[in-house]
Amino acid sequence: MGLCEISSLNYIADVPNVEGDRDERTSPMTTPTPASTYDERGAVQPLPTRPPLNGLATLALVYGIIAVAAGILPAVRQITGSLAVPAVALAATGLANARRLDGAGTKQAAIGLVTGFAGLAISLATYLTT
């Protein structure tokens, strides 16, 4: 490695360059903060935050839809098993989380609860009739 190659690595090693200044690419003072923006007066304004997500409600909805499909098509039930009971349990937990998260995922959890019970009823009906 020659002298030219070593001097080009200053920004990687975070070593002051020949003039004694830090390289602009590594200086924390020159990096913009991605979590804020500036308004027309130059004051820092925080970026809007994303609303909270309710993963349990989403999972309950997905499990409920699969449970309904498994109730209608016995071949799907052989692959997935009975997902109706976990869908109902996740939906109940998702509804409890929705209260804590100011209503985030309430509709998903409610639909997951309905599809979970529907999938359970369809699965029981098709199991008892066969």
Model confidence pLDDT, tens digit, residues 56-103 = 999 999 999 999 998 888 788 888 888 899 999 999 999 999 999 888
Name the residue with higher pLDDT: 26 or 113: 113
Query: CA of 26: how far to CAs of 5, 121, 130, in Å?
Result: 18, 62, 70
- In this prediction, residues 42-49 reach a mean pLDDT of 78
Measured CA to CA in angstroms, residue 45 lies from 30, 52, 96 at distances of: 18, 20, 33
Q: Give the pLDDT band of residue 20 (cuts 50, 70, 90).
A: low
User: For the chain, what is the mean pLDDT?
Assistant: 78
Q: Report pLDDT for 10.
A: 46
Q: State the Rg of the chain over Cα.
A: 28
Helix (H, G, I), strand (E, B) or coil at 120: helix
Q: How far apart are CA 112 and CA 104, in angstroms?
A: 14
pLDDT band for position 9 (cuts 50, 70, 90): very low
- Please report the pLDDT score of residue 51 as a whole number: 79
pLDDT of 26 above 70: no
pTM here is 0.61
3-state secondary structure string across 9-65: CHHHHCCCCCCCCCCCCCCCCCCCCCCEEECCCCCEEECCCCCCCCHHHHHHHHHHH
